[in-house]
Chains A and B, each alone.
Chain A
Amino acid sequence: MSGASELAAALAAERERYPLKAIRQQYGETLQRLAAAYPKLLVLTADLMHATGMEQFGRRFADRLINVGIAEQNMTGIAAGLSLAGRPVIVDGYAAFTTLRALEQAKIDAAYNATKIILTGQSAGLSYGVGGPTHQTYEDVAIMRAIPNMIVLVPADAAELDLCLDAAMASAAATPIYVRLGRGPEYLFSDPGGQFEIGQSIEVRAGNDVAIIANGPMVFEALLASDQLARRGVGARVINMHTVKPLDTVALRRAAGEVSAFVVVEEHNVFGGLGGAVTEALSEVRHGPIRLLGIRDSYPPIGPVFELRDALGLSAVHIVAEVESLLAATLERAG
């Protein structure tokens, strides 16, 4: 067996060890828990209750789920009005519409007005791979983080989604929070009883040769890659950067002094997202080379999620290869 097929086989075996859970299923469960815990919480949907995992919520909390029809601009505006009148509000929806269709409302009504709306964006990245570019969303992080007074969160899996929404609800800041979410089944590896602090990254794997910065489902791919790299003698630190804004610059600066190279992996255009945020932060300190993995400013083909990610170089096997080539190039330069 060649080295490449050995690696592929090892990764496939590793994947088997982790369960899958659908993001929208977790979202529906978490929102029901939050509705019970926060009696004043209202949720707005734009005719997507049945697509975002909210059917059961709709039955249990019919009077707390406000359906505004297919009108996302109006939805964010109404959410702002509710929030300005003191109501906690979660806006349900797809990332494409929450961040693009209703962008001006997100800026003016939600962020400039200093509301505390939680804006959720499902089916982000490639998670609705067969949906095509109308529904795949790979510009939302860049756009939302450019809005002043907007927090941007990208939880890694179902368990972290649950923790992340708890933190968002508990946030005292007069700041809307954009929560970028996937859609269908994703590998589950986070500790459901773990910590989630906005702005505080999580070191998922230790290592001092290279740092892999990732968020969303790319954290799982990064940790699989790190485990294989360890067997090949490479220490790959994996940082789950679930908060893109405010960015954990402390962890990045620390890593800059300890590793010789960085790889950033995200399900987003390589322009302006997590890669942009990380390079901006690292530009202020001495650091090794940075390689950005993401969607290379193109409209990707359609395809089933995991195959599509793999075809675009956004899977563990590619991360391993990128890390090895980057380290080889770095050593060559140093040598």
Chain B
Amino acid sequence: MAGVTAEPRLNMDVPLDPERLGAMVRQNRLDVTEMFMTAGNGHFGSCFSCTEIVTVLYFALLRLDPDRPDWADRDRFVFAKGHAAPTLYSALIRRGFFPAEWIEEYETKVGSRLMTHPSRRYQPGVDASTGALGHGLSVGVGMALAGRFDGRDYATYVLMGDGETNEGSVWEAAAAAAKFKLANLVGIIDRNRLSVDGWLADVMPMEPLGDKWRAFGWDVIEVDGHDIPALTEALRSKRGGEGPPTMVLADTLKGKGVSFMEDVRSWHADTVSAEQYALIRAELEAGA
């Protein structure tokens, strides 16, 4: 296994351009692979589908200060699809919230600071502990409401899976966000069309998601979830004011970036052989 290099902290005064964002996307998938190799297995598919989304947020859009993870004016990010935590961990590491050395303890020992699902108890920069699906949007509604009450112009983002929208509580939150006219709230659905047991269309069809969110009173943007410039545009928050919340439906491929994982159900979570590991690294390093 290739060692983990602790790169110098990036200067984030200027958001990264699409080319450097692309490099960061590759780095993120490599970091995630290292975490899963350390642990012995992982949610490859679920992580790789949202890599561009998370990278664009952390390296082009979110207003953050790694030295002040509790800064009151920071943008909030609720990583509702918590089972893809390593993608978030990589972004937090590369953004300077905690060191790359933590990768080596992912799921490996009692007291590991990095586990399968994100926790604000152990990881600086995590705004809400997640992992139980269907909670995140409600928490995001609360954060966005607090921003309004406190007169702060931070944006609140919530990243969900499309399978997660099976949970009824998501739609309770959908109704509430529209009622409260939370223009400072951006929901994102990583629409990779697969859940643990198969195609969402078979397990529990939720499409047409665009129509559903529009019917709930949201502005809906549909975008290629792997197109960095398009995502950067789509994910820009209106921040303040009263108006419809925004739902970004990002079309993605589960396992994106590794040919034998793309769109394959079993790669929701699986173990990797040494040969597969070499192939993953080769493909990711060569990737666009």
Give A contacts to B, CB under 8 Å: 40, 42, 66, 68-69, 71, 73-87, 104-105, 108-109, 112-114
Contact = CB atoms under 8 A, between A and B. Distances in A.
B251 interface: no
Contacts of B131: 108
B149 A78 contact: no
A71 B172 contact: yes
Contact of A108 (B129, B137, B141): B129
A109 B172 contact: no
6 contacts: A78-B141, A81-B139, A81-B141, A82-B143, A109-B128, A109-B138
A84 B135 contact: no
A76 B139 CA distance: 8
B169 interface: yes
Interface residues of B, number: 35
Given A73-B138, A84-B127, A84-B139, 17 more contacts: A66-B180, A73-B135, A73-B169, A77-B137, A77-B141, A77-B142, A81-B138, A81-B141, A82-B142, A82-B143, A82-B146, A85-B146, A86-B72, A86-B146, A109-B138, A113-B129, A114-B121
A12 B147 CA distance: 55
Contact of A78 (B76, B121, B139, B150): B139
Nearest to A74: B172
A78 B143 CA distance: 7
* A-B pairs, 5 with minimum CB distance: A81-B142, A77-B138, A85-B146, A74-B172, A71-B172
Contact of B135 (A75, A83, A87, A104): A104
Contacts of B168: 73
Contact of B143 (A69, A71, A84): A84
B120 A113 contact: yes
Contact of A83 (B132, B142, B172): B142
A84 B142 contact: yes
Given A78-B138, A81-B140, A114-B121, A108 B132 contact: yes
A268 to B, nearest CB: 27
A69 to B, nearest CB: 7
Which of A68, A80, A84, A114 has the most chain B CB atoms closer than 10 A to its own CB?
A84
Nearest to B143: A81
B206 interface: no
A78 B145 CA distance: 8
Interface of B: 72, 76, 78, 119-121, 127-132, 134-135, 137-147, 149-150, 168-169, 172-173, 175-176, 179-180
B25 to A, nearest CB: 29
Given A69-B176, A73-B169, A105-B138, A84 B145 contact: no
Contacts of A83: 142
A319 to B, nearest CB: 42
Given A77-B169, A112-B129, A87 B176 contact: no
A76 B132 CA distance: 14
Given A81-B139, A113-B129, A74 B146 contact: no
Contact of B145 (A81, A104, A109): A81
A71 B142 contact: no
A305 to B, nearest CB: 32
A80 B139 contact: yes
Given A85-B147, A105-B135, A114-B121, A78 B142 contact: yes
A84 B120 CA distance: 10
Contacts of B175: 69, 71
Nearest to A102: B169
Contact of B141 (A74, A86, A112): A74
Contacts of A85: 72, 76, 142-143, 146-147, 150
Contact of B176 (A71, A76, A82, A112): A71
Which of B144, B168, B176, B180 has the most chain A CB atoms closer than 10 A to its own CB?
B176
Contacts of A80: 128, 138-139, 142
Contacts of B130: 108
A40 B172 CA distance: 25
Contacts of A66: 145, 180
A149 to B, nearest CB: 10
A68 B142 contact: no
A84 B129 CA distance: 11
